[in-house]
Structure 1
Amino acid sequence: MHLTRPRDLVVAAVAGFAVVYLLFQLSYGDLPELPLFAGVTFAVLAVAEAALALSIRSRIRSGRVRGDAVGIARAVALAKASSLAGAFLGGGWLAAFGYVFPRRDELVAAVSDSRSAVVGVVSSVLLVAAGLWLEHSCRTPPEKPGQQTG
């Protein structure tokens, strides 16, 4: 498994943007109002992943991870999935904002939906950042010269 590349995140964000913008173009009038805190779930996940990153990072630095390689591998998989999901939905929230913000004067729901989209974009960015930091925290430090392995 390789580290998450910036282009992977950009592709996910562009795909999320395209899907949601098309959805809004075709059926915004039929969609219910976006809940203000719909995107907050990603912020909560970001906080949990940041706490996990701190824990794993301190255990790796102190050398207390010998028997927990599977747990670290699961954390890396969680980190990759979170950063990609955050990028995809961040692009989606950005598309929602891009669609509704210019229509604030003509549609009452667009004002509320603009606020919801901002909360979603910020939460998605937090999740991407936390996922990337968790992924970075799971890396084993380079061995020091003269240090024996095993």
Structure 2
Amino acid sequence: MNEMKPTPVASLCWAAVIAMPIAWMVVWRFYGVFPRIGVAGSVLLFVVAIVCAVAGVVIKKKINDGDIGHDRSQMSPVTVAQWMVFGQSVAWIGAVLGGVYAGIGIHVMLHVAELSAAQDDVPGVLAGIISGVSAAIAGAWLERSCVAPPLDPPMDAVAG
């Protein structure tokens, strides 16, 4: 039986590391036509990170309390699996966007003394890096919170 394994943290780090130089090269070439990088662009990532963190706490508590099942008073295992996939997606998106913002940040920090546009972009870039890392961490937390403990082996397997 195939089982879904949590996304390795090293893979998320590699995604960020690979996205960083690509973003830096694009920004290096096209910074003059880039729109201003504001803090508002990072708000959605912060909101998604908060949703993931809260969902991770709630689902982990329900799993520990045995409140996952098919009864109306319980959370459906399908819902838990959907949240797991959502967390995995957010972790990847956060890692890549965090790397992209870091790549943009390299260019901005190299030119902050000479370009007023770079000075204006510093808060937005820092917010983007922080929100990307936050989303990656919260998504990975949610994904790991949705893992149910292994089932007890059947009694005949233990006895035999």
Name stretches of at least 5 consecutive residues in structure 2 with no aligned partner. 71-75, 156-160
Pairing partner for 2:95 from 81, 87, 91: 87
Q: Percent identity?
A: 29
One-letter code of the match for 2:65?
S
1:11 lines up with 2:14 in the alignment: yes
Report the counterpart of residue 73 of structure 2 in structure 1: none
Q: Compute the RMSD of aligned alpha carbons.
A: 1.9
1:34 lines up with 2:37 in the alignment: yes
**For the Cα contact (< 8 Å) 1:13–1:92, is it kept in 2?**
yes
Alpha-carbon distance between aligned partners in 2 of 1:86 and 1:36, rounded to the nearest angstrom: 16
**For the Cα contact (< 8 Å) 1:86–1:125, is it kept in 2?**
yes
Alpha-carbon distance between aligned partners in 2 of 1:18 and 1:105, rounded to the nearest angstrom: 21
Q: Deviations over 1:41-94 (max 9, x none)?
A: 111101111111111111111111112111111111111111111000000010
Report the counterpart of residue 127 of structure 1 in structure 2: 135
Equivalent position SS for 2:51: helix
1:2 lines up with 2:10 in the alignment: no
1:43 lines up with 2:53 in the alignment: no
Equivalent position SS for 1:50: helix
1:104 lines up with 2:112 in the alignment: yes
Task: State the 4+ residue runs in structure 1 displaced beyond 6 angstroms.
Answer: none
Report the counterpart of residue 123 of structure 2 in structure 1: 115
Normalised to the residue count of structure 2, the TM-score between the two structures is 0.85
**For the Cα contact (< 8 Å) 1:36–1:112, is it kept in 2?**
no
**For the Cα contact (< 8 Å) 2:42–2:128, is it kept in 1?**
yes
Alpha-carbon distance between aligned partners in 1 of 2:146 and 2:36, rounded to the nearest angstrom: 40
Alpha-carbon distance between aligned partners in 2 of 1:144 and 1:118, rounded to the nearest angstrom: 47
Report the counterpart of residue 77 of structure 1 in structure 2: 85
Q: CA deviation at 1:10?
A: 2.1
Report the counterpart of residue 147 of structure 2 in structure 1: 139
Alpha-carbon distance between aligned partners in 2 of 1:106 and 1:132, rounded to the nearest angstrom: 39
Structure index of larger Rg: 2
Name stretches of at least 5 consecutive residues in structure 1 with no aligned partner. none
Normalised to the residue count of structure 1, the TM-score between the two structures is 0.90
Alpha-carbon distance between aligned partners in 2 of 1:100 and 1:111, rounded to the nearest angstrom: 8
